[in-house]
Amino acid sequence: MAFSFFALAVFLYFGLELPEGSPSPAAAAVEEGVEITYGSVIKLMHEKTKFRLHSHDVPYGSGSGQQSVTGFANVDDSNSYWIVKSQPDSSAKQGDIIPHGTIIRLQHMRTRKWLHSHLHACSIAPITGNLEVSCFGGDDSSDTGDFWRLEIEGNGKTWRQDQRTRLRHVDTGGYLHSHDKKYTRIAGGQQEVCGVRDKRPDNVWLAAEGVFLPVNSSK
């Protein structure tokens, strides 16, 4: 492909328009394969509502006051991109595949904060009162509240595009969850994202659009 993965990621990060004739992120994923690897930049789609996992530099008005995380219907919004990262002490490298049961981190591409949850009693989801899910930290600041265990549905052994998965928060045991309950004071009809401790149809997610880095062949 004439347009490199690195260039695509740079354009996505800075919110720039892609040059005419270059492939879209979704097209890049289709052409280059379906394995989700470390370093890939993806959008996570909530299976039931089709909304994308989303964040922007707006704090919750209650709970922790950390950066809010929502579900957003607009497929093209650049605030719905997340970078797939390993744990800080992991030996995993960019381009390595990600097996079922692996603990990963998701870094919000725009704000550089991590998908996060916590056990603080006052930090509850604004609509339902479930576990709060937020964005927190930064490039040089991450803790176990950013750790999520990948659970692949069915017989899949490694994470692939459009594969049904759950993300279970390590510290709280809560599954990344959403539903059709929407905020009334947030533009675009964004819906609540939270954590719940039991498996439900509403906590299944799929890696949809994105820049999926090719599998590391050095092993």
Average pLDDT over residues 32-56: 92
pLDDT at 217: 81
State both tokens at 144: 């176990």
- pTM exceeding 0.75: yes
Domains in the chain (CATH in brackets) are 5-211 (2.80.10.50)
Average confidence score pLDDT of the chain: 84
pLDDT at 21: 39
pLDDT tens-digit profile of 179-200?
A: 988 887 665 689 999 999 999 9
> Is residue 130 within 8 Å of residue 194, measured between CB atoms?
yes
pLDDT tens-digit profile of 58-106?
A: 888 776 789 999 999 999 999 999 999 999 999 999 999 999 999 999 9
Q: Give 59-127 as a 3 state SS string.
A: ECCCCCCCEEEEEECCCCCHHHCEEEECCCCCCCCCCCECECCCEEEEEECCCCCEEEECCCCCCECCC
State both tokens at 152: 């692949």
